[in-house]
Structure 1
Amino acid sequence: MSDATTVSLRRLDLTHYEATNGRGARIEVGGEGNFSPVELLLAAIAGCTAVDVDVMTSRRAAPEVFEVVSSGRKSTEGGNHMEDLQVTFRLRFAEGPDGDKARARIEPAVRASHERDCTVSRTVELGTPIRFKVAEG
């Protein structure tokens, strides 16, 4: 079993928070001009697969264009949740043998990430239960 990952969230103002990870990195959540929690979920899904695909394709050639768009639609039927989640890759590699090798790796890399490697999207798809606890402050 691997080490646990922990993120702490503290309130800055009404609906405005700061998340901190174990390495000390910080990101503001909610509030004016920041990512919403749903947008962070979409970013995590895109980011996880992007890292996998980047590593697998960039061994052959550096991309000229590497953009990943994650989207979904909010539904309130049966309680708030996201539906129709989709991740779209826009990648371009230079012409030539190395670019050809990188292009040939795109679909297998996306498939490997989706089916095996991306912890975030696999957790969402598997529907891992979440326990909520209340502790005294």
Structure 2
Amino acid sequence: MDDITIRNMVTSDLDAVMQVEHASFQSPWKKENFIFDLTENFYSYYLVAVKAGEIIGYCGIWIVYDAAQITNIAVHPEERGNHYGDRLFEAALALVKLKEAETLTLEVRESNIVAQELYKKFGLEVVGKRERYYQDFEDALVMWVKL
């Protein structure tokens, strides 16, 4: 497995992050959403995964008091299958624990079995469903873990 570094995201990372975002999601976030989270939302934290100087993945987290939520996480499709998602998720978990969050939650597409299996490896369980959650009306599974 090639070595990656995981570090805090900065605004100068956004062009590369947007490439990952657009390659990964049917309904990508707008750049303005990331800018707001990085510059104005004091509840948000973002990490990037860097391989050979290039951003190959990222993870967004909101931490409000003792509750953390993964807002988005992605690894570029060309880099999937190398356990980079595992390492990014591990780093996110370490961050939320450092910030003393007691729970972690996220939504995942019902069809995204690969992501669900990743989250289950880290102890998350399906606790609910948000019907027609995504713009294409696919349901989201709500996953949760007590830290």
Q: Provide TM-score, normalisation by structure 2.
A: 0.29
The structure richer in strand per residue is 2
